[in-house]
Structure 1
């Protein structure tokens, strides 16, 4: 986990509060993580807790 991810207080609070079978919805991929390593860490942390991350976006 990068320092930037660790310092994202809101993200840490979200991951701490989320429980098994919860769904985290993001409107854009860059809202979930700031880079590929962050996203891998966040998705991994979600799956370990049984949380489903979901990203959707609209084009146009």
Structure 2
């Protein structure tokens, strides 16, 4: 698996336009966030059932 620095270097080496490099970087970050175990939703996750409203006293 490639390191973050290797992925950024690969983006910079293969794309000429700054806009394209930015788009590729954004896609890489989204893919990471969707697949990082800490950011994944647990199985059978229901946000409504775990949502709590705390009222001020």
TM-score by length of 2: 0.37
Higher helix share: 2
Structure number with greater Rg is 2
TM-score by length of 1: 0.35
Higher relative contact order (CA 8 A, sep 6+): 1
